[in-house]
Structure 1
Amino acid sequence: METCPAAFTAETEAELWKHIELHGATAHQEEPDKWSPEDRQQIKNLIRES
């Protein structure tokens, strides 16, 4: 996965993942349903609670 400066805020982790997946599909022409568990873990490692 490439470095991306996008940032999202959501009430729940499920909602946050919807934003992340939509962004991946629209901004990066990726297919989130084909992301590997390692890709998802890499993204999850970037998530910070505020």
Structure 2
Amino acid sequence: MALAYSYACRDCEGMETCPASVTAATKEELWKLTELHAEIAHGEIPADWDPETRAYLETLVREVRV
């Protein structure tokens, strides 16, 4: 089994009704997919996320076996 990383938008405070989740082989890929989702689905600008927001989102990333 390989190790991958997963993020579920519904785990983020205020996003409980969002069904989106992403899984990727690397954290770098996961961040790109998460940022793209935030931009398209929620109208956010990930470049504007402050370090505290990124640190909070990092706590929501889970390691998964695939």
How many pairs does the alignment contain?
A: 50
Question: If the length of structure 1 is used for normalisation, what is the TM-score?
Answer: 0.88
Q: Which structure has the larger Rg?
A: 2
More helix by share: 1
Work out which structure has the larger RCO, using CA pairs closer than 8 Å and 6 or more positions apart in sequence. Answer: 2
How much is the aligned-residue C-alpha RMSD, in angstroms?
1.3
Q: Identity over aligned residues, as a percent?
A: 48
Q: Which runs of 5+ in 2 are unaligned?
A: 1-12
Question: If the length of structure 2 is used for normalisation, what is the TM-score?
Answer: 0.69
Runs of 4 or more, structure 1, over 4 Å off, are none
Q: Which runs of 5+ in 1 are unaligned?
A: none
